Structure 1
Amino acid sequence: MEAWKVNIISVWLGCFFTGLAMSQILPFLPLYVEQLGVHSHEALSIWSGLVFSATFLISSVVSPLWGSLADRKGRKLMLLRASLGMAVVIALQGFAQNVYQLFLLRALMGLTSGYIPNAMALVASQVPRDKSGWALGTLSTGQVAGVIVGPLLGGFMADHLGLRTVFLVTALLMFVSFLITLFLIKEKVVTVTKANMLKGRAVFETLPYPTLIFSLFITTMMIQLTNSSISPILTLFIKDLAGNNGNLAFISGAIAAVPGVSALIAAPRLGQLGDRIGTGRILMTAMIGSILLFCIMAFVQTPLQLGILRFLLGFADGALMPAVQTLLVKYSSERVTGRIFGYNQSFMYMGNVVGPLIGSSVSAVLGFRWVFVFTALMVFINTMQLWSGLHKVSPPDKS
């Protein structure tokens, strides 16, 4: 088997374990904070927000530094750093004795960020260019599959084995990811020496379309922002639609997870289609579809209607991030790819931090339904900005 195909299989497994690890912890962080001695409603809300956001805040700051190091030393080294670092820090979280220790460890975990973006960059740089859309689309299904399975596995362990066990098993999974990366992934490293490393503005001066690259950064932030803006109000909105339904937790979990199922189906197929007709066209179509679906969600009357619309939204989600990353690879050189992906990851984490704040604020002031309207408006503005950037690309095929 060709080396790049082995890499895709190996990195897919690594992304699956990373998605699994993250998603089987995050839903239960508030419960763990409470177990560590925080009991009042106000304090529990504040500390849950802090321990959740600490990782993303630190990650958004250090991601460009890791991207620079990836250009100099290779991306496999970054994958090893991220997987082993997460294994160690997550294991330590399972032994935290108070919320202050947990907060510090969650912040420290931000330094271990970068497995999935570096995996994307490694695969994108190794596969034939005419297969990059398919490869990145296929790779994205690894994380999505992990995110779908994670809450189910984490919930089972939390109920039957205790919350601390969830952290320890998660750490073990990340160590498995480290071993897969160490022994199976092969990289043809095209490193850049420190003396030849471009600085700051010079990175963007090497790009043929710097405005497009920045628009893609904003799009990455918006993808995360729009998804996470819905998260804080989704269960409450479903409760408002369903009334006093005894299966509220199950219904909410199903509706929260269903976009992942359709994204899993769509991502490799849309990536392959993008290779044929142009990645830019796939990206714009997915964004327009997202706008329409968010608008319609504002008018749903039943949880079933919301679930169907979120399932359809998953098809757009399956196209968005792989398409952005494919275009980033296409319009940046090997010399700066690591830093471009590092900057892109910073914008992704900023979306994770800002999204829940926007969703909660709009909901508090205007109500649940306006969150969907406001989200659609933000995607529309981003779509216009991205269209302007793609319109300047030659040829106008925008692939």
Structure 2
Amino acid sequence: MKIWKRNLIVCWFGTFVTMVGISQIAPIMPLYIKQLGIYNTAEIEQISGIVFGVTYILSAIFSPIWGYAADKIGRKPMLLRASLGMSIVVGSMGLAQNVYQLIGLRMLQGVISGYCTACITLVATQTEKRHVGWALGVLSTASVSGSLLGPLIGGSLDEILGLQFTFFLTGILTFVAFIATLLFVKETFVPEEKKVLSTKEVWRQLPDSSLIITMFVTSFVLQLAYFSIEPIITVYISQLSNNASHIALISGMVFSAAGLSSVIAAPRLGKLSDKIGPQKVMLIALIVAGIIFIPQAFVKNPWQLMGLRFLLGFATAGLIPSINSLLKKVTPDAIAGRVFGFNMSAFYLGSFGGSVFGGQIAAHLGIKYVFFITSSLLLLNAIWFYNKAFKKLNLITKANNIEKKQSKNRNISNILL
């Protein structure tokens, strides 16, 4: 097996486990806080928000820092640091004696983040160029499915094995990811001999910083759209369902439906982006996703909502790999870690912002408006992307294709000679 394929397999597993570990906290957190001695409902809700959000905020702050470290000393050391750190910290959450220890551990989880950023950078820089889109598409399925399946897995394990076991299992799995990374990930990394660049100097090295900013904004909006439904899904399912039983299970299934279809579609859309250009896949995916959000406001039962969420996953599956492919295309390898780190910060901020945004809109305007406003944001993002980046990226793709053809012709000429 080629080294880049083996790296992809290990990174996929590690990314999936990491995202499950980050997101599985949502459905069990109120119960765990109650178990730790907080019984007032208002206090539980307030502390749950702090515990849930603090990890995303600190992850957003530290992702660029770890991206900088990856550019300086290599991506594999960052994978080892993050996976071992996650194993210890998340496993320790199951041993917390009070909410203050839990909050502290969640903060530490945000600080040691960076596994996903290092995986994206490693796969983007070590994979053969003609397979980069496909590889990033495969890797994105781990991130999306882990984020969306995490709440369902956490809630299910709670019923079967208890709250603490959820944390212990995540710790064990991330330690397995650490061992797999240590033994099987290979990286050809040559550190830059030049002095370390400041953030301003990094931006000056970019061929077109406006393209990078467009990708960051799209990453933020995409995650905001994903997570806007998270705080209201149980309430919405309760309104749609005549049967009050199994609401939590049905909510988890609805939320996870988009993750399942993303797993199916992302590798195929990654291959398509290698052929026609990721910017085309990205534009179409933004438009389709924006449209599919609208009928979710008019469903009559949970199964209709689940079907639409499943279709949404097919649309959004083309977004994450396309964003990463385009970032790779317009970013020099020497600063790729920092750029991907900033992009991961946009993801984390979108995840946190989406959770807050969805709850606030539902509380003030009604649940249906969450879908209308999210749809509008995606469609506006599509218009902005088309105006600011689409034409430029088409020109870059054409130039790259011409260069590939010329290189291929030169190779053929050399063989004939």
Q: Tell me if both proteins adopt one fold, taking TM over 0.5 as the criterion.
A: yes
Aligned positions of 1:186-197 closer than 5 A: 186-193=186-193, 195-197=194-196
1-structure distance, mates of 2:157, 2:309? 28
Contact 1:127 1:135 in 2 (8 A): yes
Question: 1:42 deviation in Å?
Answer: 0.8
Q: Which residue of 1 aligns with 2:75?
A: 75
Distance (Å, rounded) in 2 between the aligned partners of 1:48 and 1:56: 13
Deviation per CA, 1:348-369: give whole Å up to 9, x if none: 1111221111111111111010
Once the two structures are TM-superposed, the CA of residue 137 in structure 1 deviates from its matched residue by 0.7
Alignment-derived partner of residue 368 in structure 1: 367
Cross-structure match for 1:248: 247
- Structure 2: gaps of 5 or more residues: 399-417
Offset at residue 332 of structure 1 (A): 0.2
In 1: Cα distance, 2:341 partner to 2:147 partner? 22
Count of residues paired in the alignment = 398
Q: Distance in 2 between matches of 1:385 and 1:152?
A: 34
Q: Structure 1 residue 318: deviation in Å? A: 1.2
Residues 136 and 228 (structure 1), Cα distance of their counterparts in 2 relative to 1, 3 Å cut: same
- Matched AA of 2:188: K
* Mapped contact 2:208–2:330 kept (Cα < 8 A): yes
Structure 1: which 5+ runs fail to align?
A: none
Partner of residue 141, structure 1: 141
Q: Is residue 190–residue 334 contact of structure 1 (8 Å, CA) maintained in 2?
A: no
Query: Identity rate of aligned residues, in percent?
Result: 42
Q: Deviations over 1:14-64 (max 9, x none)?
A: 223223333443321121111111111110000000001111111111111
Query: Contact between 1:21 and 1:173, CA under 8 Å: does it hold in 2?
Result: no
- What does residue range 232-381 of structure 1 map to in structure 2 within 5 Å? 232-381=231-380
* C-alpha contact (below 8 Å) 2:152/2:256 kept by paired residues: no
1:394/1:8 CA distance change after superposition, 3 Å: closer
Alpha-carbon distance in structure 1 between the residues aligned to 2:296 and 2:157: 34
Give the conservation status (yes or no) of the 8 Å contact 1:209–1:393. Answer: no
Q: Which amino acid aligns with 1:338?
A: G
Q: TM-score, normalised by structure 2?
A: 0.91
Amino acid at match of 1:79: L
Q: Separation in 2 of the partners of 1:182 and 1:336?
A: 24
Q: How far off its partner does 1:156 sit? A: 4.4
**Distance (whole Å) between structure 2 residues aligned to residue 348 and residue 110 of structure 1:** 13
Whole-angstrom CA distance in 1 between matches of 2:32 and 2:393 = 52
Q: Displacement, 1:341?
A: 0.6
Aligned to 1:336, the other structure's residue is in SS state helix
Cα distance in 1 for partners of 2:16, 2:55 equals 20
Output one character per residue of 1:55-100: Cα deviation in whole Å (capped at 9) or x when no partner: 1111111111111111000111111111011111112211111101
Task: Give runs of aligned pairs for residues 84-163 of structure 1, distance below 5 A.
Answer: 84-147=84-147, 150-151=150-151, 153-163=153-163
Partners of 2:124 and 2:94 in 1: how far apart?
35
Distance 1:149 1:384 in 2: 31
Counterpart in 1 of 2:47? 47
Corresponding position of 2:389: 390
Quote the Cα distance in structure 2 between the aligned partners of 1:144 and 1:380: 21
Matches of residues 220-239 of structure 1 in structure 2 within 5 Å?
Answer: 220-239=219-238
Contact persistence 1:90–1:170 (CA under 8 A) = yes
Deviation at 1:181, TM superposition (A): 0.6
Q: TM-score, normalised by structure 1?
A: 0.95
Moved more, 262-271 or 120-129: 120-129
Query: Structure 1 5/284 Cα, relative in aligned 2: closer, same or farther at 3 Å?
Result: same
Whole-Å Cα distance in 2 between the matches of residues 150 and 125 of structure 1? 28
- More divergent stretch after superposition (266-275 vs 140-149): 140-149
**Cα distance change of structure 1 residues 363 and 278 upon mapping to structure 2, 3 Å threshold:** same
- Superposed CA RMSD: 1.8
Q: Residues 76 and 185 of structure 1 are in contact (CA less than 8 Å); yes or no, is this contact kept in structure 2? A: yes
AA aligned opposite 1:129: K
The residue identity in structure 1 corresponding to 2:26 is L
- C-alpha contact (below 8 Å) 2:148/2:255 kept by paired residues: no
**Take 2:266 and 2:126, find their aligned partners in 1: how far apart are those partners?**
19
Matching residue's letter, 2:29:
L
Measured after TM superposition, the shift of residue 377 of structure 1 is: 1.3
Give the superposition deviation at 1:226: 1.1
